[in-house]
Amino acid sequence: MERRVVVTGLGAITPIGNNVKDYWEGLKAGKCGIDTITAFDVTDFKVKLAAEVKNYNPEEYLDKRSARRLDRFTQFAIIAAREAMKDSGITKENTDMERVGTFIGSGIGGLDTIEKENRVCFEKGYDKISPMYIPMVISNMAAGNVAIDLGLRGESFSIATACASATHSIGEAYRAIKHGYQDVVFTGGTEASITKTGIAGFTNIKALSQAEDKNRASIPFDKERSGFVMGEGAGVIVLEELEHAKKRGAKIYAEICGYGASSDAYHITSPAPDGEGGARAMMNAIKDANIEETEIDYINAHGTSTHLNDLCETQAIKTALKEKAKTVMVSSTKGNTGHLLGAAGAVEAIACIKAIEDDFVPPTINYKVKDEECDLDVVPNVGRNIKINYAMSNSLGFGGHNSSIIFKRYE
């Protein structure tokens, strides 16, 4: 028998807030977390802007030893997971920790440590590489260290599907609980790739905006969009089997009811023509939720602010939602946070959950120039107070990885 799955905890660290409350208030207020990069000197870089986590000192969250031995992407995951656990009220007294999984994805892993240790290698010699190098950089260590930190002894793994990593992780966590393999899963994604090679690599593949005005850099669905802005951070949500949550008296934010995934099988970076792969992921999620496309009230779009993504996602939404595409509210919160790569789907899932809880749709900020090819209701600049019963979140990754999840108001 399939089991119902609900959301009982949220945690986040983002460019517009270092916890869920501040993040959500930032979205509602239209706050932009993009600014000049401070992580390194950008004098010789074509791209000057990114969305960094602000006012971050790891030793405020972690002991000195852990802060030194954990890459930034893992630090973020632990911080978000601790907040989610506290929010959920999960303890070893009310939950069998052997039935609690950890599904946390990352698109890249410990890029900052890779850069630093490579400099050590070539400047000082191979034998000077840190013995912690490998445990710090491999992308599964976010999930592994969260499980260690919180004592989560169920299934633990990391999905790496580029910018779809977090949404795939959430979807697979939902399936694991739905089909009885786990009772609770801490799931989401984390990323910290605002580094010299990270920015240079995405610049040279012509993915990043070179705009110098932070309010015209990440502008999803705007006709003048010219690429995405790199962001960083993490989001973790607690998914839980409904009866387990009810038995321990948990607060229930929303129910997750649908998950769909697909592969473009087309190109390493470009989406399939007309967004047909993304459309299949959305249609699979709608079918899994056992609803009609007309019931979707809001879509938090992948909406990266690249020409092809926003065009193809618009076409995908039209294919998947048919006539409903003319009226469904579609916003991208990447104008606020930049693109968190493997963590994007997690913080955007939280936006969908809070939209349902607060009856509020966050806007697509800094939108000025309408694009006739992206003719959806993109909720420009000002959010809307409106009841949301079903919210969908889309993530589309390099390599043709597509994923969609659907949350609904819990009843």
Phi and psi (nearest 5°) for 389? -100, -40
Neighbour-count burial for 290-300, b at 16+ CB within 10 Å, e otherwise: ebebeebbbbb
Which of 302, 312, 352, 401 does the annotation list as catalytic? 302
CB 351 within 8 A of CB 337: no
Write the DSSP assignment of 310-333 as a string of letters: HHHHHHHHHHHHGGGGGT-EEE-T
Q: For this structure, is 302 an active site residue?
A: yes
Query: How crowded is residue 201: how many other Cβ atoms within 10 Å of its Cβ?
Result: 15
Q: Please report, in angstroms and rounded to a whole number, the separation of the first and last CA atoms in the chain.
A: 20
Angle, CA 315 vertex, CA 330 and CA 319 arms, to 5°: 95
Q: Hey, what are 14's tokens?
A: 């983002």
Q: Which element (helix H / strand E) includes 88?
A: helix 72-88
Region of residue 341 (phi > 0: left; psi between -120 and 50: alpha; otherwise: beta) = left
Which of 163, 257, 352, 374 does the annotation list as catalytic? 163
Query: How crowded is residue 152: how many other Cβ atoms within 10 Å of its Cβ?
Result: 25
Q: Is 152 helix (H, G, I), strand (E, B) or coil?
A: coil
Q: For this structure, is 244 an active site residue?
A: no
**How far is Cα 196 from Cα 194, in angstroms, rounded to an integer?**
7
DSSP structural state of residue 389: S
Q: Which of 297, 254, 234, 245 is nearest to 71 (CA)?
A: 234
In sign, the C-alpha dihedral spanning 31, 365, 81, 91 is positive
Q: Where are the beta strands (DSSP E) in 62-183?
A: 100-105, 156-157
Q: Is 51 helix (H, G, I), strand (E, B) or coil?
A: strand
C-alpha distances in Å from residue 27, one per residue of 68, 219, 300, 348, 375: 32, 15, 12, 11, 23
Q: Which residues pair with 102 in a beta bridge?
A: 156, 186
Q: Is 107 helix (H, G, I), strand (E, B) or coil?
A: coil
**How far is Cα 312 from Cα 61, in angstroms, rounded to an integer?**
40
Which of 168, 244, 339, 401 does the annotation list as catalytic? 339
Q: Is 117 helix (H, G, I), strand (E, B) or coil?
A: helix
Catalytic center residues: 163, 302, 339
